[in-house]
Structure 1
Amino acid sequence: MEVLSEREWRRRDLAHRDRVGPWIEPHLRRGRERVTHPVEDFLFTYYSFRPGRLLQWHPGADVVLAGARSFGTHYRDCAEGAVLDLDEVLPRRTTVIGWIRDLLAATASRPPHLGCFGMHEWAMVYRTQEEEIRHSSFPLRLSPERIEEIVDRRGVRCGHFDAFRFFTAPARPLNTIQPTRELQRELEQPGCLHANMDLYKWAYKLSPLVGSELVADCFALARDIRTVDMRASPYDLSALGYRPIQVETTDGRAEYVTAQRGFTERAAPLRERLLRECDRLLALT
């Protein structure tokens, strides 16, 4: 086991809180004020990891915190300090760890596809009534008729089930792929914005067995992806300071692909780190 000195683990605990606090506090403040933000609040509302759990620091499995006592849930005291109780945590996570590991490996094995141009967000408002639009407090950049025309002309090429399931009923037959949960492992590919955003989900599902720094790294990537995702959507978020990526134009599509390629490159080492953690945890079983 690795042993962290009390000075070192307290330093890392504080650094983690200093890093994630500026992401969490504005979200909590908006909650108290009963206002929402379609970009900054998304990772806290769409995903199930609560802000308090993101704020809590964990060193990961097989790491002793020297001098710690009663460190928290899932930890046990030992002679040197405190350590995650693997006998309690690991057995009930083995199946999930294996599933995550296989999905990550399958995704990493494929070449990235960069030709969707973010049309999944357009498919979520295609031929829908104004009162049914998810972010109805913000106007659309284009008329419903123009959105329909663009989607009809360009089509939709989305292989991510958790995006596809939010398509409007008229938009689903337009998708070149009909993804299902059962096909997730066969369809996800490393150029997909949502697959790369979901690295945060797989990281927190492995917590506290993996270090909180890795969870925060995946959150930071997901946060940047969500920004581009909504900038390329048909919503007008200029009031919030977001310049649109006009994917209905040639220049806008080129800008989107450039951002998508950058996220693919940033996601690759995070996916590899998560894979290594899954293999390490499965070996411990």
Structure 2
Amino acid sequence: MDGIIPLWKEKGKTSHDCVMELRRICQTKKVGHTGTLDPEVEGVLPICINQATKIVPFLTDTKKTYQAQVTLGYTTDTEDSTGETITKKPVNEMISEQEINTVLQSFVGNITQVVPLYSAVKVNGRKLYEYARNNIPVNRPSRQVWIESITYIPNTIKADNGLFHFSFEVNCSKGTYIRTLCVDLGEALGYPAHMSALVRTKTGGFSQEHAVTIAEVKEKKAQNELSRLLFPISYGVKHLARYEVDRETSLKVANGQKLPKPTSIATDKPFRVEYQDNLLAIYQKHPNNENEIKPVRVFQ
């Protein structure tokens, strides 16, 4: 049984919890998730089973879509609602939708984010949250991420007790910290802020409409219909460029051989190799020979 289960991760579970449960349900150790979601976050989490685990890095490295709520009025040390309050500033005005939209649009494109203190990013061999928990000062690294689009979700403004809430939808690159984005949006609006809710509605080609819960997976298992939930491996890499080969070349691909560099597609990024619409492998340009390509993953 090889393929991808587009899981709907529920609140209260870690991504690792989901992997462990699916290992038990599918009775295999070869299970991997494609992008960590914090316990308090729910949403689409594609899970790769058996041969599909070969594409985890390629499915992880895809665009994501989130719906988030930002709360203006105070910041926290974790940048979300689970942390301790750091800075307060009551919001005693009604911020207009137009003003929110203007600020949101200013974040479209390449932006620089400072990595949250409570994250698993390593500095000098230690995870940042280890510094935080031990009250050790550390310089947090910054990174560039891509915001393809970000839009205000209508009718989500709410003001109460000096707090101001609104929600937005964002399409962004892998590695974007939405809680940091919420903090930065608040700063642009002139107030301390944090992320108060988050849902991931899409990752790669998998959206909320495809997703199933752990309970639904168990139900299909009990009905001996677990395979009906599986998406083919090829679906998980359909965002990669496609290189169609002939039968003779397909045999070379199956044996993991290097091939001459094709002229029909760009090879600056990994691409999928297919024969008669069947996924055979993922190739990339050869690091030492500009006239060749080499396999990264070969599928049986």
User: With structure 1 as the length reference, what TM-score do the two structures score?
Assistant: 0.24
Larger radius of gyration: 2
Larger fraction in helix: 1
Looking at secondary structure, tell me which structure has more strand per residue: 2
